[in-house]
Amino acid sequence: MVQVGELKVEQLEQAANMLKAIAHPMRIAIISLLEKEGKLTVTQIHETLKIEQSTASHHLGILKDKGILSCKRDGKNTIYFLRNENLGKILDCVGRCTI
């Protein structure tokens, strides 16, 4: 198996795909909101960010598909949350680099 440092090629590809998915202003806003609030429904996310529910659902789907978010059903609602708390640290780092 090919490795770069301690990471395998598959891990590097997964990391690159996650970073590509994060690289959108609205997705960064969603991740930041979930980092701050913990777990939220689509309704809570779209109302807080003042975007259409369909837009929020679209971005949530992408983030979930790339392994950034997880979700669970709670009655009629789907609750979204960060799959890994360390993802917020990436945004903090990028934020510090843009100052």
Q: What are the residue ranges spanned by the domains of the chain? A: 3-97
The model's pTM: 0.84
Per-residue pLDDT, 31 = 94
Burial track 43-80 (b if 16+ CB lie within 10 A, e otherwise): ebbbeebebeeeebeebbebbbebebbebeeeeeebbb
CATH code of 3-97, in short, is 1.10.10.10
pLDDT, one tens digit for every residue, the chain (99 residues): 455 567 788 888 888 888 899 999 999 999 999 999 999 999 999 999 999 999 999 999 999 999 999 999 999 999 999 998 777 777 777 778 776
